[in-house]
Amino acid sequence: MDARTDAEPDETVVSKPGRSAAGVRAVAVTLKRSIERMGVGRTARTLSAINQPAGFDCPGCAWPEAAPAARHHIEFCENGAKAVAEEAMTARAGPAFFARHSLADLEGRSDHWLGETGRLTSPMIRRRGATHYVPISWDGALSEIAGTLRALEDPDQAAFYTSGRTSNEAAFLYQLMVRSFGTNNLPDCSNMCHEATGVALTEAIGIGKGSVHLHDFAKADLILIVGQNPGTNHPRMLVTLEDAKARGARIIAVNPLPEAGLLRFKNPQRPRGVLGAGTRLADLHLPVALGGDRALFQLWNHWLIERERDRPGTIDRRFIDSHTVGFDELEAHLATVDVDLLLDETGLDRATVDAAFEMIAGAERMIICWAMGITQHLGAVDTIREMTNLALLGGHIGRPGAGLCPVRGHSNVQGDRTMGIWEKPRPAFLDALEAEFAIAAPRDDGHDAVDTIRALASGTTSVLIGLGGNLLRAVSDTEVAEEAMRRATLTVQISTKLNRSHVIGGDTAIILPTLGRTEQDTGPDGERFVTVEDSMSLIHPSSGVLPPASTQLRSEVAIVCDLALAVLGADHPVPWSSFRDDYDAIRDRIERVVPGFDRFNERIREPGGFGLPHGPRDERRFDTSTGRAGFAVTEVTATSRPAGQLVLQTLRSHDQYNTTIYGFDDRYRGISGNRHVIMVNADDIAELGFRDGEVVDIISVFPDRERRASGYRLVEYPTPRGSAAAYFPETNVLVALDHQSPEAGTPASKAVPIRLERARPASATVHDVGASGHDLRS
């Protein structure tokens, strides 16, 4: 396929934000998009198999499925179907495509255009100084990679990135290969999303994972949805929330923007979702100021303890006394807080905060959900500590219908971490690896994603291998990241489709095409399956249903094993050749290394798979240094915003998933035809001297240098005063590499200080097509 730049829109259309999600239009968009990219037959074959017991796990989000007996025949959402259509599209980007398009041409194309070119079909290489990728054999590519890795003076000169689409089996072997090679440089997409969750929860309850099952939502009487937009990012969650509402649960949405999915849900599988008004979900929306969540939760915690003095039973003293430490210190600290300051930091009125507090104080079974609207702040870890404090005060852990629920973004990002994809491995895990495989595992911490960019920029790392994903677009400080990538000696991308990380590479760049989730993986004994872990620690199988896009595709497992053999040699103690052919053999070894996988091969073949143990949820057991859950004391100080400045959050459009741009229709926010928009409160626009529809440049305000995103259309939007919103990955260019959580290292892309300037003449009429791929003529 020779994609056309003129196929992209060039007009911005702005209407009122949506007041409901899904419904008949979502069905129409799903079918249209699927048939356009896959055709009728492939659409029927794939959509009927998504998230089914004998089918494949959706390559989109990590929201869990119901038990097989309670599962619908249609167990996917609009954006899940888009993810499948992107992978199973009939277009192909083979050697003829690369012969037509030079690197200079590809670099000038938009991310959307690159994604539309089709499935990669054969290994390709671009050597130093060459203008084009050219074909290379599998043996040639593996030999090239192995030779470069073996020639390094130190294994730490290489980094090995992983995305959340990787299966458990491939992830386990990947980290085993990397540690056998001698480094813990295992950056992954967790570094840029829920790392703060892992830090805060591990410290507080002894495990960095959520403490609820899917069925807990049916028993909850209050659900807090904080910093999350499930209507776009986890749409199947709306069905769970609708069922909870039908059973009497109340829902509080805490989010700067009003999101359509939390206002009203039109379930297309129910008559009232098709013909009626659907279901109102959020009983209360708190449009909190960007960064004000910690103050909000601390204020609620203060009020709970204060009310306990007059109304014993407001907090769960029995749970607190039996299962926690640190309550006295928290109580003493909260007695000193300035309530007016906390309220001011939230940006909310007292009546709204009071109304939410009354729901919280009266809840017997409360679930707190959150996503990247919480985790991508400078103070994310402290915010999650305050949220955990709230759960502990009410005893909302280890109780049916209650718990902490971080909602993961990518389908197996949690499984990757369980399998050992982490730059800071625990000694017990390394001990188990060494005992099982007779290797010497490195013990020093490796590089996370941001540190990998720093290391590439400085030259201390010279090789980057990516098992899926698009690191260049996912990470912050785009210009710095691109320059760092160009400094590499070798970059390797193991991928299904073309993206920006293939276009901007090192001296030598290699593409290795791999099977997708939708495709059959056939071995010596027939078709094979892999496994994934969802947001609630359930492990289940995934089996593709389509023939591979090319006879040259290899599974991720096969690629990792073949690369390990090329790098480590046939006499290495790990039986890579056996693992390549026998996935059960891999699972047997996972069982012996990773806790919770007892009888892995037996239990994974049971309907619905199985759940991993979770001490806090299952038995109120906390594997912390004290053996108890820990309250945390955090400080909230007054923030000041200089005149003329705003605070920017980057977010997804409804027509994208992570860094993959499906199209240009963010219909729930009423914006289509253009991704280069910035949403700002009408009063702020007027105060700053602009007008709705004007074209501006966005400049982030950091001490080191100016970062600019040019040619953005101002859109009046119901954001809190002082807050603004724009789409990533385009605005990642504004986020300084050092603007990150000090504890978690996550880029703080939800709290970027910015100012606006009228657009420079060139950017007022046309974007750099490398960033957008289309003109702005609105």
Using a pLDDT cut of 90, give the percent of the chain over it.
85
Q: Give 378-437 pLDDT, tens digit per residue.
A: 999 999 999 999 999 999 999 999 999 999 877 888 999 999 999 999 999 999 999 999
Cβ-Cβ contacts under 8 Å for 508 (sequence gap 6 or more): 125, 126, 127, 128, 144, 148, 489, 490, 491
Angle at which helix 556-568 crosses helix 138-150, to 10 degrees, equals: 50
Determine the residue type at 582: D
Q: Which residue has the tokens 């209050």?
A: 222
- CA–CA gap between residue 240 and residue 214 (Å, rounded): 8
pTM of the full predicted structure?
A: 0.94
Please give the pLDDT value at position 623: 96
Contact 241, 563 (CB under 8 A): no
Please tell me which of 48-62, 74-88, 432-446 the model is most confident about, judged by mean pLDDT: 432-446
Would you say 412 and 632 are in contact if contact means Cβ atoms under 8 Å apart?
no
Strands 508-513 and 490-495: parallel
Band of the pLDDT at 775, cuts 50, 70, 90? very low
Whole-angstrom CA distances from 130 to 105, 126, 224 are 13, 6, 54
- At a CB cut-off of 8 Å and minimum separation 6, what does 572 contact? 180, 564, 565
Give CATH for domain 646-758: 2.40.40.20
User: Among the ranges 269-283, 354-368, 646-660, which has the highest mean pLDDT value?
Assistant: 354-368
All residues at 6 or more sequence positions from 311 whose CB lies less than 8 Å from its CB, including other chains: none
Band the pLDDT of 4: cuts 50, 70, 90: very low
Residue whose C-alpha is closest to residue 553's, from 582, 516, 526: 516
Average pLDDT, integer, range 461-484 = 96
Domains in the chain: boundaries: 92-193+412-603, 195-406, 646-758
- The pLDDT of residue 10 is 61
CA 161/CA 467 separation, integer angstroms: 6
Closest CA to 268 of 260, 279, 258: 279
* Mean pLDDT for the chain overall: 93
Confidence of residue 766 (pLDDT cuts 50, 70, 90): very low
Answer yes or no: is pLDDT of 303 > 80. yes
Evaluate if residue 233 carries a pLDDT over 90: no
76 pLDDT band, cuts 50/70/90, is confident
CATH fold group of domain 195-406: Dimethylsulfoxide Reductase; domain 2 (3.40.228)
Query: pLDDT tens for residues 148-158?
Result: 999 999 999 99
Exposure b/e, 156-180, CB count within 10 A at least 16 = b: bbbbbbbbbbbbbbbbbbbbbbbbb
CATH class of 92-193+412-603: alpha beta
Q: Quick one: what percent of the chain has pLDDT higher than 70?
A: 96
Q: Which range among 15-24, 266-275, 508-517 has the greatest average pLDDT?
A: 508-517
- 554-558, 562-566, 629-633, 764-768 — which is least confidently predicted? 764-768
Whether residue 2 is predicted with pLDDT greater than 50 in this model: the reply is no
Task: List 514's β-bridge partners, or say none.
Answer: 554
The answer to whether the CB of 749 falls within 8 A of the CB of 476 is yes
Alpha helices in 257-338 (DSSP H): 260-263, 271-274, 293-310, 317-323, 327-334
pLDDT in tens, 608-620: 899 999 999 999 9
What backbone phi and psi angles, to 5 degrees, belong to 50? -65, 130
Give the model's pLDDT for residue 761: 67
Q: Is the predicted pLDDT of residue 740 greater than 50, yes or no?
A: yes
3-state percent breakdown (helix, strand, coil) of the chain, nearest 5: 40, 20, 45
Does 539 score more than 60 pLDDT?
A: yes
* The one-letter amino acid at 147: G
Tell me which of 53 and 646 has the higher pLDDT. Answer: 646
